[in-house]
A and B are shown apart, each in its own frame.
Chain A
């Protein structure tokens, strides 16, 4: 029977023992090469054995526990989703969205790892599998066709005890079952199982190993005399051009997904942790360190919260919510009315705060709830054994959020408690030091602190590109008193923006659909290109250089200085 590339049957492709932690196993099924690896959370990944970007085999990659790193070029793929989390040398070090390696279905059962060419059939245990404590034999690769190997196994049966042929290239010989893994048209692996662990394991393993070695030698001698069948020719899926091109700064809003609040807890004074998981227990989309999700609140508001997770940790997202004064409608609703078991809609993760992993020095400075994106960054750096310093400024000792998560980090983590304004500034000055090449600082916290750190860094000679920040909200007063015209170049429309109305609102009033999220100039969603006219920037999203370039605008708060703006929309 000729092998089919699309055969949906499940075959064993490895033994459980083949996958120790931090190792990448190289497998093959029906001509497709596979990189198979166990993440630190126990999850087994079966992926196409190619780095999507350069085509290098992933089985020579480094298993870092939650991510697999392509050894030659440094691309990284996350546990579970196979999503790319890092492209070296990209200006923002951010991957195009949703680049995922090809994944294959996987099950670990009976001491073996099983996979199939596609998802067409659910995994089903083999007949008679229940009620035994299956014991895996040493696998035996054979350079012969799977059919010939099955026939060879059948002939091992004594005359009075003929072998049973089972579905999917399996043979039952006495109480032992031998599965033939169709590696390719001309190659197989015999994977045997005994129904119970033998009393003397080594002797039993040696016995079967000798028997199968002899069979292999016979089969290979016979195969050498026959014309070899043509190997299967799987097509290797390349990344589409659209996906492999780099994303714009503002990523359009993706689909929302529903998640269930799995856990809600108090983490430090005034910070409530929320663990959000897929309702069916599936993994959530890949995210990058520093990424956030939009959370759609029961009262109709949408708010951004940073994901605190480490790399490849995709079974739930953990966010931290600051219990603010009554004015903060968003957080208040989450803290007061959302309970464990409730379902929330969230966006796919987006990243406005990309982390470089080629720095010689990485300084992370957090104020209060600003710890959340920096915790995620620290976890990524930690897993990659890259050095970093995390400094966490809090008002008092019991306001430390995510304390236990911080304690297990290996980098240098310092908490600074209850320092006054001047002392914070002095400390930050000392931490930053004069700028040196390939140093990067990341800041997240309250507006006043962000500005102080940025100013201090600039004064010490740090260039804009080395100062990375994320605001949680824009607390600056917005001056909406101007009135002007906007020409929408691509939509061929001219609109008048009156005082008291934003560009975004005006566009919406005129029937345009435009993306927004925070509507306070903090999240980056509404970023639009500017073709002509001078922008009156009022956001906290763009950095000084970007603002000075006069090529982009946050339409939710910013306005025109003159009478007219031409936008690329």
Chain B
């Protein structure tokens, strides 16, 4: 039995809801009032994750934290196709590299969003500058990918957890005052992610239209 300790408006929690929906897993949700209740600082939560961060996932007795780590766990355990977190060592390295970039996006785009919408005390211009720096690099990577017939962040011909890890805080960047106008290839990639079968929405992230059949 899987239980997700979840805050509805958190992009990091959404990553797990997204992958579990794609993998068609059933799970329970324990809502954690991250804002305004700061329940992630409550004793009971800190016993689950001393870092005080969401999401936390419980699979029977196993307790896991960190969205990137949990994505890898879910994919390795529950994705029979092996596509979402491929075994090939070189591809694993690629995926982990983009999980790292995803953390950078959280540290910039999500930080600006937390500062603007949730009153967190972060250096907003700095966070925005850093998000733009990462988005520029991603746009370039994705633009050349399209030219070479690659639709996703990593080399396989299908999406991986890397795409899921990077997706939410790219989509939510406007809430942190970070426009995506200068990143057309990044915008096209977000359309592709939103068309993955099993895709679910969260507040601020809408589905894309149907692709031309």
What residues of chain A have their CB less than 8 Å away from a CB belonging to chain B? Answer: 14, 17-18, 20-23, 25-28, 33, 40, 60, 62-65, 69, 71, 138-139, 141, 189, 201-202, 205-206, 209, 385
Contact = CB atoms under 8 A, between A and B. Distances in A.
Contacts of A25: 184, 187
B212 A40 contact: yes
Nearest to A17: B146
A26 B181 contact: yes
Contacts of A385: 210
Interface in B103-153: 140, 143-144, 146-148
B144 A202 contact: yes
Contacts of B148: 202
Contacts of A62: 206-209
Given A64-B209, A71-B206, A138-B143, A26 B180 contact: yes
Contacts of B59: none
B191 interface: yes
A141 B135 CA distance: 12
21 contacts: A14-B184, A18-B188, A20-B188, A22-B208, A22-B209, A23-B191, A25-B187, A26-B180, A26-B181, A26-B184, A62-B206, A62-B209, A69-B209, A138-B143, A189-B182, A202-B147, A202-B148, A205-B144, A205-B147, A206-B144, A209-B144
Pick from A26, A139, A189 the residue with the most CB of B within 10 Å: A26
B187 A26 contact: yes
B211 interface: yes
Give the interface residue-count category, chain B. Answer: 20 to 34
Given A26-B181, A141-B182, A201 B147 contact: yes
Interface of B: 140, 143-144, 146-148, 180-182, 184, 187-188, 191, 206-212
Contact of A209 (B140, B182, B208): B140
Chain B's interface: helix, strand, loop or mixed, by majority?
Answer: loop
In the complex, the 7 A-B pairs of residues with the closest C-beta atoms, listed nearest first: A62-B209, A141-B182, A21-B212, A26-B181, A18-B184, A71-B206, A22-B209
Pick from A17, A28, A40, A385 the residue with the most CB of B within 10 Å: A17
Given A22-B210, A27-B181, 11 more contacts: A20-B188, A21-B212, A22-B209, A23-B188, A60-B206, A62-B206, A69-B209, A138-B140, A138-B144, A189-B182, A206-B144
A316 B147 CA distance: 36
Given A23-B191, A63-B209, A28 B143 contact: no
Nearest to B191: A23
A473 B120 CA distance: 67
Contact of A22 (B143, B180, B212): B212
A209 B143 CA distance: 11
Nearest to A216: B136
B3 to A, nearest CB: 32
A137 to B, nearest CB: 11
A20 B182 CA distance: 17
Nearest to B179: A26
A22 B211 contact: yes
A498 to B, nearest CB: 59
Given A25-B184, A141-B182, A202-B147, A65 B206 contact: no
A63 to B, nearest CB: 5
A215 to B, nearest CB: 14
Contacts of B188: 18, 20, 23
B69 to A, nearest CB: 32
Nearest to B183: A141
B16 to A, nearest CB: 24
Contacts of A71: 206
A139 B182 CA distance: 9
A191 to B, nearest CB: 12
A28 B212 contact: no
A205 B206 CA distance: 33
A503 B11 CA distance: 66
B180 to A, nearest CB: 7
A26 B191 CA distance: 13
A52 to B, nearest CB: 20
Given A22-B211, A201-B147, A205-B147, A28 B181 contact: yes
Contacts of A21: 211-212
A139 B191 CA distance: 20
Contacts of A63: 209
A33 B181 CA distance: 10
